[in-house]
Amino acid sequence: MLRAGFAFALTAALALAGCTGSGFGSRIGLNQATLDDPQFDITPEKGDANTVFKVDARGLGEKYNVTWDWGDGVLTYGEESEHKYGFTNGVMRVTLIATAEDGTQGIASREVTLGNGQNKAPTVTARAQRTWIEVGRVINLTATGSDADRDPLTYFWSYKAADAAAETAIEGKTNRVPVSFDAPGKYDVKVRVRDPKGGEAVSNVTIDVSRSIPSSRFEQVFNGTIVAGTAGNGVSEKAWLVGPTVPDTNVDSTRHRYRLDYPGNTLIFLLWNDTSTQGVFDLDLELRKADGTVVFTSETRAPAAPFEFNVTQQEPGEYDIIVRGVVGADIKYMLLVQATLKITPEAVAAVEGA
Q: Give the DSSP letter string of 267-287.
A: EEEEEEEE-SSS----EEEEE
Of 267, 263, 247, nearest to 322 by C-alpha is 247
Domain holding 294, by residue range, is: 217-346
Q: Is residue 134 located within the same domain as residue 172?
A: yes
Which element (helix H / strand E) includes 68?
Answer: strand 65-69
| pLDDT tens per residue across span 316-336 | 999 999 887 765 556 788 999
pLDDT at 246: 41
SS3 state at 12: helix
Decide if 173 is inside a domain.
yes
pLDDT at 203: 98
Decide if 44 is inside a domain.
yes
Q: Is residue 186 located within the same domain as residue 239?
A: no
**Pair 157, 189: CB distance under 8 Å:** yes
329 compared with 27, residue with greater pLDDT: 329
Rounded distance between C-alpha atoms, residue 306 and residue 297, angstroms: 17
Q: Is residue 134 located within the same domain as residue 160?
A: yes
The mean predicted confidence, pLDDT, of the chain is: 82
Q: Where are the alpha helices (DSSP H) in the chain?
A: 2-17, 237-241, 345-353
The model's pTM is 0.68
CATH of the domain at 298: 2.60.120.380
Q: What is the mean pLDDT of residues 172-186?
A: 95
Q: Is residue 150 located within the same domain as residue 40?
A: no
State which of 181, 210, 239 marks the end of a domain: 210
Which element (helix H / strand E) includes 293?
Answer: none
State which of 210, 230, 260 marks the end of a domain: 210
| C-alpha to C-alpha distances, 271 to 86, 222, 309, 322, nearest whole angstrom | 75, 11, 9, 14
Q: Residue 125 pairs with which residues in a beta bridge? A: 144
Contacts of 70 (CB under 8 A, 6+ apart): 76, 83, 85, 92, 94
Q: Is residue 156 located within the same domain as residue 266?
A: no
Q: Is residue 317 located within the same domain as residue 221?
A: yes
**Pair 100, 35: CB distance under 8 Å:** yes
Q: Phi and psi at residue 97, in whole multiples of 5°?
A: -125, 110
Q: What's the pLDDT band for 254 if we cut at 50, 70, 90?
A: confident
Rounded distance between C-alpha atoms, residue 240 and residue 41, angstroms: 102
Decide if 351 is inside a domain.
no
State which of 114, 131, 157 marks the end of a domain: 114
Q: Is residue 194 located within the same domain as residue 137?
A: yes
Decide if 99 is inside a domain.
yes
Q: Is residue 194 located within the same domain as residue 254?
A: no
Q: Is residue 107 located within the same domain as residue 35?
A: yes
- Say which DSSP state 30 is in: T
| pLDDT tens per residue across span 97-130 | 999 988 899 999 999 999 999 999 999 999 999 9
Q: What's the pLDDT band for 302 if we cut at 50, 70, 90?
A: low
Decide if 13 is inside a domain.
no
Q: What angle do CA 347, 348, 353 make, to 5 degrees?
A: 105
Q: Is residue 312 located within the same domain as residue 226?
A: yes
Q: What is the mean pLDDT of residues 76-94?
A: 94
Rounded distance between C-alpha atoms, residue 33 and residue 96, angstroms: 12
Decide if 11 is inside a domain.
no
pLDDT at 255: 86
Count of structural domains within the chain:
3
CATH of the domain at 162: 2.60.40.10
Decide if 17 is inside a domain.
no
Share of the chain above pLDDT 70, in %: 78
Q: Is residue 236 located within the same domain as residue 160?
A: no
| pLDDT tens per residue across span 280-293 | 557 888 999 999 89
Decide if 106 is inside a domain.
yes
Q: Is residue 234 located within the same domain as residue 311?
A: yes
